[in-house]
Amino acid sequence: MELLGDSTPEVRAAAARALGKLAHWPAAATLATLLRDRAWDVRREAGLALRALGAPGTLLLRRSLAHADPFTVDMARQILDLPEPAGPTRAL
């Protein structure tokens, strides 16, 4: 969490990616603020991390569509428009 505020974009992006892989949902609000980061890689990793969080992340991505910052809106739209990941299906 602390590294999300690092001055180096690569560090912020790696921290966002790690939190997404860990599905660390308490970081959702902080990750959502990174959707307006100046570095595209940071915005992308924050968006992908939010997506990995499931419902809380999806909710924040949808809310970001109404944000005043065009970078935030653009990245939220890109992430929400991604197809669902392929994987094994469960039998009902």
Backbone angles phi, psi at 68, to 5 degrees: -75, -25
pLDDT given at position 87:
65
Domains, in order of start, for the chain: 2-80 (1.25.10.10)
Q: Pick out the chain residues at pLDDT < 70.
A: 86-92
- Please indicate, yes or no, whether the overall pTM of this predicted structure exceeds 0.85: yes
23 backbone φψ class: left, alpha, beta (φ>0; ψ -120 to 50): left
pLDDT given for residue 85 in this prediction: 74
Average pLDDT along the chain? 93
